[in-house]
Structure 1
Amino acid sequence: MNIEELRTYCLTKTGTEEDMPFGPDTLVFKVGGKIFLLTGLDRQPLSFNVKCDPERAIELRERHPHSVLPGYHMNKKHWNTVILNGELGKKQVEEMIDHSYTLVFNSLPQKIKEGL
């Protein structure tokens, strides 16, 4: 998955907006104004941060120690950094993005969810 495929996949999620609030080198995807994925545009290999259930985060880090790390510059209990170094398949990466989106979407107030 490259940056364009990542961007395209994120934008398929209902209510997703992209933004660059941290400067021109960091692309952020939000739902309901809350971040569910962010990526540095200058990183090689491509990597991104996604929200994750704490128990699942630990499990993924143990299963993929070279590709899933505690979230860089994030709350390490709730965020993972995913490195696209070829160890993870496209389906696994998409599942991590879906999980993050779902966690953030489900945390939104009902009124915001209904507006999306």
Structure 2
Amino acid sequence: MDGAALHEVAIRTALALPAVEETQPFGEDSVVHKVVGRMFVLTTTLRGVPIVNLKCAPPHAAALVRDLAEVTPGWHMDKRHWVTLAPGEGLDEAMVEDLVANSWELVVQGLPRARRPLDPARRVGP
């Protein structure tokens, strides 16, 4: 997957999820997607390379970093709970969609029940 496709898939997938807002708190070169005010996706460029930062459960993050050259510990984030995706052959559209959705679910699970747009365990409203 090339960098333009990586950004396009991450942004499209994030915007399709419930209660998501798109912001640019770090300037016009970075796009942050939040659910109920909490960040779950950052798309930006690092040294000319398009990247995507996503929240990820620590065991899953460690496996992704170990198995895929395109996945590294989160750039400027908690290295256990975030990963950075870079363009490359190891990523495809379905994987990026799954990782974005998983990031959203992790953030929603951390919200108080009354603030959750959907309960990820039941896939229904609060």
Identity %: 34
User: Structure 1 residue 73 and structure 2 residue 76: aligned?
Assistant: yes
What's the CA shift for 1:45? 4.0
CA distance in 2, matches of 1:82, 1:2: 8
2:14 corresponds to which letter in structure 1? Answer: C
CA positional deviation for 1:77: 0.8
The equivalent of 1:47 in structure 2 is 51
Q: 2:8 is matched with which residue? A: 4
Structure 1 residues 27-36 or 3-12, which shifts more? 3-12
Q: Which runs of 5+ in 1 are unaligned?
A: none
Say what the alpha-carbon RMSD is for the aligned residues: 1.9
Aligned pairs (5 A) from 1:100-111: 100-111=103-114
Distance in 2 (CA, whole Å) between partners of 1:112 and 1:83 is 32
Kept in 1: contact 2:10–2:100 (CA 8 A): no
Are the counterparts in 1 of residues 7 and 51 from structure 2 also a CA contact under 8 Å?
A: no
Q: Distance in 2 between matches of 1:31 and 1:86?
A: 29
C-alpha distance in 1, partners of 2:72/2:57?
14
TM-score normalised to the size of structure 2?
A: 0.82
| Alignment equivalent of 1:37, drawn from 37, 41, 49 | 41
What is residue 121 of structure 2 aligned with on the other side?
Answer: none
CA distance in 2, matches of 1:98, 1:114: 14
Contact residue 51 and residue 85 of structure 2 kept, 8 A: yes
Q: Which amino acid aligns with 1:16?
A: V
Number of aligned residue pairs: give it. Answer: 115
Out of 86, 90, 93, which is 2:89 matched to?
Answer: 86
In structure 2, give the amino acid aligned to 1:58.
A
> What SS class does the counterpart of residue 17 from structure 1 fall into?
strand
